[in-house]
């Protein structure tokens, strides 16, 4: 275990946010309704999955296990059915002793899974695109940290995942002094194109956190947004969304638990408003 899991871990746990992601709920909605192959929509990294973590702050050296899970319903519009999406994202992260250009080298691997259904029925579940990533995280002093991640989502052959490789880049900035966590994490995804694979839009996600520690408790507002950046076909309707919510966490020293609730406040072409409950388990070794 870390020598000081109380204060150090609370301030630097954010690098674990660089975990594997899952397609946006709208993407899964299309899958459920059409029973098609990988859908032509959505972010590969699930919007909101890095909320609550100070992604700019380097972790103390060590190995970490993080499991982020969420469940929610996107309400159908104009008579369309509701869509349920459940996601589980287990991650192993290694904060190495190595530094490059003054930044801590951190390595991450994730194997997400999801289950989807329409009107609480016809559920389909399976493994989603795994992620392999490396990150550099700099401690700039005075509570300020910045990180850069470069990763790749690998293709899978089932109907719930993307059958294409995608490049994932993330830039995070965090302020963690005085028990605050003020963080913005920008996630940029680029789909590779191939005539033999489904073409999907590039995307941009923004996860934001503004929480404060009160002893072992953490509370505060959170939010996220996502945008499709291009139209891979002439008939494709670009998606965007914004969601807001609140987070509560508790540090048990050897285990950290977090939970947050989010709801869509703006959406275009997602097909309805999404209300989602999130949970997170963090175990440092």
- Per-residue model confidence as pLDDT tens digits over 248-277: 999 998 999 999 999 999 999 888 899 999
What is the three-class DSSP state of 252?
coil
Least confident of 50-64, 132-146, 190-204: 190-204
pLDDT for res 200: 80
pLDDT for res 131: 97
State the average pLDDT over residues 161-174. 91
Cβ neighbours of residue 275 closer than 8 Å, sequence gap 6 or more: 72, 73, 75, 261, 262, 263, 264
N- to C-terminal Cα separation, the chain: 5
Stated pTM of the model = 0.86
Structure tokens of 30? 């299309």
pLDDT of 197 over the 70 cut: no
| High-pLDDT (> 70) share of the chain, % | 82
What is the three-class DSSP state of 207?
strand
The angle formed by the CA atoms of residues 205, 207 and 209, to the nearest 5 degrees, is 170
Exposure of 4 in the CB half-sphere (CA atoms within 13 A):
7
Backbone phi, psi, residue 15, to 5°:
-60, -20
* CA neighbor of 245 nearest in space, from 218, 220, 269: 220
Structure tokens of 89? 């994202």
pLDDT of 143 over the 60 cut: yes
Task: List residues bridging with 278 in a β-sheet.
Answer: 70, 260
State the average pLDDT over residues 189-203. 72
Q: What is the pLDDT of residues 28-42, one digit of tens each?
A: 433 333 323 234 457
- Average pLDDT value over all residues in the chain: 85
What is the three-class DSSP state of 150?
strand
Within 10 A of 90 (CB to CB), how many other CB atoms are there? 17
Report how far residue 285's alpha carbon sits from residue 87's, in angstroms, rounded to the nearest whole number.
Answer: 25
Least confident of 64-73, 77-86, 89-98, 209-218: 77-86
């Amino acid at each position: 275990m870390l020598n000081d899991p109380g204060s150090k871990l609370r301030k630097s746990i954010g690098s674990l946010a660089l975990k594997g992601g899952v397609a946006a709920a709208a993407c899964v909605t299309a899958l459920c309704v059409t029973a098609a192959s990988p859908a032509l929509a959505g972010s590969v990294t699930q919007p909101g999955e890095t909320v609550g973590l100070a992604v700019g702050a380097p972790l103390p050296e060590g190995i970490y296990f993080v499991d982020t899970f969420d469940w929610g319903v996107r309400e159908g519009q104009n008579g369309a059915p509701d869509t349920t999406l459940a996601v589980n994202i287990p991650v192993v992260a290694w904060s190495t002793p190595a530094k490059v250009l003054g930044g801590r080298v951190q390595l991450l691997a994730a194997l997400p899974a999801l289950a989807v259904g329409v009107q609480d029925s016809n559920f389909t579940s399976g493994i989603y695109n795994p992620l392999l990533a490396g990150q550099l995280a700099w401690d700039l002093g005075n509570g300020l940290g910045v990180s850069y991640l470069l990763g790749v989502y690998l293709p899978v052959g089932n109907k719930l995942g993307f059958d294409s490789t995608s490049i994932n880049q993330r830039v995070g900035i965090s302020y963690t002094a005085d028990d605050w966590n003020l963080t913005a994490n920008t996630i940029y995804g680029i789909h590779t194109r191939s005539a033999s694979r489904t073409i999907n839009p590039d995307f941009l996600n923004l996860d934001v956190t503004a929480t404060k520690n009160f002893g072992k408790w953490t509370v505060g507002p959170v939010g996220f947004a996502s945008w499709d950046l291009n139209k891979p076909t002439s008939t494709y309707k670009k998606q965007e969304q914004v969601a807001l919510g609140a987070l509560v966490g508790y540090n048990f020293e050897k285990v950290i638990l977090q939970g947050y609730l989010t709801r869509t406040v703006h959406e275009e072409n997602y097909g309805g408003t999404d209300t989602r409950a999130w949970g997170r388990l963090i175990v440092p070794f």
